[in-house]
Amino acid sequence: MIDRTHSLPVARSIAYYEPRPVSETTLMLMRRIDELQLLYPFAGTRMLRDLLRQEGHAIGRQQVATLMRRM
């Protein structure tokens, strides 16, 4: 594997990279954020964070923003 990456202009670590699976909790939060965005298309990260916290989820604004980017 090293010989193949040596001839290409890429790092050797790319050949060994395996993405982590997405947890069930993260998937559930992403689904709920998607549902809330359909109900409130004008909602930003702060409003979505507040709505999720009202439902009992312990989540911060940065995590909401990260999940929104991943979707």
pLDDT in tens, 17-55: 888 999 999 999 999 999 999 999 999 999 999 999 999
Q: What is the pTM of this model?
A: 0.74
Q: What is the predicted pLDDT for the residue at 42? A: 96
pLDDT at 2 over 60: no
**64 in a domain, yes or no?**
yes
**44 in a domain, yes or no?**
yes
- Tokens standing for residue 34: 């998607």
Residue 51's domain spans which residues? 22-70
**47 in a domain, yes or no?**
yes
Q: What is the predicted pLDDT for the residue at 7? A: 67
Please state, in angstroms and rounded to a whole number, the distance separating the CA atoms of residues 71 and 48.
Answer: 14
**28 in a domain, yes or no?**
yes
End-to-end CA distance of the chain: 33
Tally the domains of the chain. 1
